[in-house]
Amino acid sequence: MINVIGLGYIGLPTALMLASHGVEVIGTDYNTELVGKLQAGELTFEEKGLAELFGAAVQKGIRFCSEYQSTDIYIVSVPTPYDKNSKKVDACYVVAAVRSVMEVCPKGATVVIESTIPPGTIDKFIRPVVEANGFICGKDIHLVHAPERIIPGNMVYELEYNSRTIGADDLGIGEKIKAVYSSFCKGDIVVTDIRTAEMTKVVENTFRDINIAFANELAKICRSDDMDVYEIIRIANMHPRVNILTPGPGVGGHCISVDPWFLVGDYPGLANIILAARKINDGMPRFVIHRISQIMKETGLTDVRRVGLYGMTYKENVDDVRESPTLQMLERMEDGLSGGLVQVYDPYVTRKIAPNQHDTFESFLESVDLVVIMVGHDEIKQNMKMLSGKVVFDTRKICDLPGIHRL
Ligand SMILES: NC(=O)c1ccc[n+]([C@@H]2O[C@H](COP(=O)([O-])OP(=O)(O)OC[C@H]3O[C@@H](n4cnc5c(N)ncnc54)[C@H](O)[C@@H]3O)[C@@H](O)[C@H]2O)c1
């Protein structure tokens, strides 16, 4: 039996995937409200294909509870934020979860950390917890790191088809855990040591952050000297070895905007390009605010209350708002653009999290003259015609209406 600890965006799909492939699974989360919903057959977030997977897992007997179970394999998938001052990983959730596991696990158990962690985290934070409970790592308790690569919006497919990395002290244990993931994963599974697995995951997200930052920096350079960054990228990408990404309003979510900080925090003085990329991407919401002011001047609009931000999530077609560029913008009160005045709307965000948040696309459009496309949800892509007559600032390059404004 496997006890999956933490039933959020990563833990829940993983638990469901294992269960639907015949593995006996109990999912544990200390959030009793969340557990209650799952027990009642309700999903806790929206994701393509998740409802079907949930149905299949329930049929195979998955259970959800708030108590940790005594079993031989644990998969820990709890948050790993970074400390805003030191930029280092804040391992408190993983430490607390492993501490609770130690209270119930039998000798011989394997604890798999799926949460993203920088190199050295298991050595520094997790081994001491195991040993403080009288266990010997590698003998009584086996530690494994199996980071997750899935992207919200396509999680179910990617769980099955992505390749994965498994880091273990003991390659035999690594192979045992590989067999568990192989119950549903059709991608290659590489078994390596723990520090390599820790570093690889953080490096992957850092690579993405740096490449996004390059596109964003180009957008700023081109804007400052009246060049069309999108056309320049289109032409440059015809080079066989160039693949520049599309600029955007910033980077959000729980991965790309967080993980590079771990390297900045742990390797100060060495992580220079990584730090620069983080600053560029974190500066994009401010650049969008600056562009809104410019566009308002150019078009003669003066009433900030008739500016509308479309999209509050950090990416398209998901309901996750963590670290999203829109929320970062709403927190800023600069450039004459008060976050408390602008109108906002997102079809995926139904609970009220911002002032002037609309329930429908129609009421949002009625209240605004300038639409700022912050997220390229399918809803707006399929209803572009509804924007005619509005001033449109498209930060995602999804709209081809005449007179469109871009980054
Ligand atoms: N969300 C993503 O797209 C993504 C992708 C790859 C990797 N990751 C990594 O996966 C990890 C989990 O991220 P997430 O997005 O699923 O987080 P989340 O916040 O959606 O879910 C975490 C869950 O853990 C529960 N929890 C926290 N501490 C607990 C404890 N001690 N005992 C029991 N339950 C506990 C919380 O109640 C919550 O439901 C993070 O390290 C993240 O970086 C996330």
Predicted confidence (pLDDT) per residue in 35-47, tens digit:
999 999 999 998 9
Record the pTM.
0.94
Please report the pLDDT score of residue 296 as a whole number. 95
Identify the band that residue 332 occupies on the pLDDT scale cut at 50, 70 and 90: confident
- Which tokens is 268 given? 């100060």
The DSSP 8-state label assigned to residue 385 in this structure reads: G
107 classed as catalytic: no
Task: Tell which atom from ligand 1 comes closest to the C-alpha of 149.
Answer: 6
Q: Among residues 34, 33, 37, 97, which one has the least CA distance to residue 69? A: 97
337, pLDDT greater than 90: no
269, pLDDT greater than 70: yes
Identify the band that residue 19 occupies on the pLDDT scale cut at 50, 70 and 90: very high
Q: What is the mean pLDDT of residues 278-306?
A: 95
Report which secondary-structure segment, H or E, holds 110.
strand 110-113
Query: What values do phi and psi take at 222, rounded to 5?
Result: -65, -40
| Averaged confidence pLDDT in the chain | 95
Question: How far is the centre of ligand 1, averaged over its atoms, from the C-alpha of 283 (Å)?
Answer: 26
pLDDT tens, residue by residue, 119-155: 999 999 999 999 999 999 999 999 999 999 999 999 9
255 classed as catalytic: yes
The DSSP 8-state label assigned to residue 404 in this structure reads: -
Identify the band that residue 331 occupies on the pLDDT scale cut at 50, 70 and 90: confident
Q: What is the mean pLDDT of residues 239-254?
A: 96
17, pLDDT greater than 70: yes
For residues 53 and 297, what is the distance between their CA atoms, to the nearest angstrom?
Answer: 50
For residues 248 and 218, what is the distance between their CA atoms, to the nearest angstrom?
Answer: 11
Identify the band that residue 254 occupies on the pLDDT scale cut at 50, 70 and 90: confident
Mutate to test the pocket of ligand 1, among 48, 165, 254, 322 (most ligand atoms within 8 A of CB): 254
Please report the pLDDT score of residue 333 as a whole number. 53
pLDDT tens, residue by residue, 173-193: 999 999 999 999 999 999 999
Ligand 1 site residues (CB inside 6 A) read 5-11, 28-31, 34, 77-80, 93, 96-97, 100, 115-116, 148, 150, 152, 254-255
Q: What is the mean pLDDT of residues 202-230?
A: 98
